Amino acid sequence: MKHARLALLCLLFLPGLVIAGQGTVPSWCVAVWHPSPGTTGGDESIRVNRDVLDVVHPFWYSPRADGTIYAHPGLENPQQIIEWRDQGLIIIPSIPSSVFEMLSPAASRSFHVQQIAELVETNGYDGIDIDYEGFPASTRDDFSAFIEELSAELHARGKLLTIAVHAKTDDTGSWSGAAAQDWTRLAPAVDVFSIMTYDYTSRDKPPGPISPTPWVLDVLAYAASVLDLSKVHLGLPFYGYSWQRNRPPATTVSWTSIQLLIASFKLNIQRDPGGDAYVELNTRGLPRQTFYFADSAALEYKLEQVVAAYPALGGVAIWGIGGEDPANWDILRAARPANCQLQP
């Protein structure tokens, strides 16, 4: 039954097919952020699944408050760049940040833009991915101006600009970080919106689902109202969280490690109403633990719902590779409706 449903998806969403009056599906990309804290084995995941991967966002750089960019020791890897290029991957490094002083005044912002553009140009990258998170709502206009200026600079050089944004179901969202990102203003400037549709339950909350499908659909409903969905990559978690004594903070765990626990203690996998998997360890002599995690069954369910409801979606972006359910990649192979056409 499982494979029959996937085969049906492939028939329904063949590349170039006209979908319910919404035109063709010209491009559907699979991107990964790498490396992911708390997981190992991401290099192997990329190598083994190259056939279904299109874009890699290496986390090698960070900004300083003065607007300069620095490379993290031991991460920037020229040999890895050569291998990824030989494999045909689009390389768009991700710059994460929780500092915002370089966004204002205008002179500081322009200096920061030039620093990023020079990084991309010097290394021959295909573009840059901006992952600036958790800013106060007061930075909203400055952040938009930064993205607009960076877009003009990169596009003039023939480079791509992608951006990771907080998931939300309306303009302001439920907290300041989401409010600081003005999707309507940002939309014309960027080539790809990667919406981080995970951490619905963060590590700082009591146990709960990481990426429930109903919430994901609500986020996409808002995105569809303000964005061109062909530019949107849906964030997919491939990781899990463990809560000891059912209290935060949770720790990041892999699917592989959870499978060992399931086998050792004969645990039963349960499903949240939103499709997420979880298990509970309640064994004498050990602290009680709850594990929520991503697996192929949850991914299959999510993609069935998402692709059916939003066939114009431009692809997915994966967080947490390394130790993931290997069947996740088979689900992506079967469910993707088109090949990636993203180009600098």
* Share of residues in the chain with pLDDT > 70 (%): 93
- Per the CB < 8 A criterion, the answer to whether 42 and 56 are in contact is no
d(CA 182, CA 146): 12
In a domain, 220, yes or no: yes
pLDDT at residue 4 above 60? no
The domain of 70 spans 26-239+295-335
Please identify which residue in the block is written with the tokens 């003009």.
152
Q: How many domains does the chain have?
A: 1
In a domain, 2, yes or no: no
In a domain, 174, yes or no: yes
pLDDT attached to residue 171 = 96
Length of the chain: 344
Q: Express each pLDDT in 237-252 by its tens digit.
A: 999 999 999 999 999 9
Average of per-residue pLDDT values in the chain: 91
Sort 16 into a burial class: Cβ within 10 Å, 0-12 / 13-18 / 19+. exposed
pLDDT attached to residue 76 = 87
- Per the CB < 8 A criterion, the answer to whether 17 and 54 are in contact is no
Please identify which residue in the block is written with the tokens 């049906």.
8
User: Which element (helix H / strand E) includes 33?
Assistant: strand 29-34
In a domain, 11, yes or no: no
Predicted confidence band of residue 15 (pLDDT cuts 50, 70, 90): very low
96: its two tokens: 């994460």
**Residue 336 CA, distance from chain mean position:** 16
pLDDT at residue 8 above 70? no
In a domain, 249, yes or no: no
Predicted confidence band of residue 281 (pLDDT cuts 50, 70, 90): very high
In a domain, 13, yes or no: no
d(CA 65, CA 43): 31
CATH of the domain at 173: 3.20.20.80
**CB neighbours of 262 closer than 8 A, spacing ≥ 6?**
269, 279
- Side chain identity at residue 69, one-letter code: I
In a domain, 4, yes or no: no
d(CA 215, CA 221): 10
In a domain, 225, yes or no: yes
d(CA 41, CA 323): 6
- Strand order from edge to edge, sheet including 240-244: 251-253, 240-244, 289-293, 277-281, 270-271
pLDDT attached to residue 285 = 86
Q: Express each pLDDT in 318-337 by its tens digit.
A: 999 999 999 999 999 999 99
d(CA 245, CA 10): 43
Q: Express each pLDDT in 141-192 by its tens digit.
A: 999 999 999 999 999 999 999 999 999 999 999 999 999 999 999 999 999 9
**CB neighbours of 218 closer than 8 A, spacing ≥ 6?**
169
Closest CA to 241 of 208, 287, 270: 208
Report the relative pairing of strands 94-97 and 127-132 from DSSP bridges: parallel
Which of 10-24, 54-68, 115-129 is predicted least confidently?
A: 10-24
Predicted confidence band of residue 5 (pLDDT cuts 50, 70, 90): very low
- Per the CB < 8 A criterion, the answer to whether 244 and 281 are in contact is no
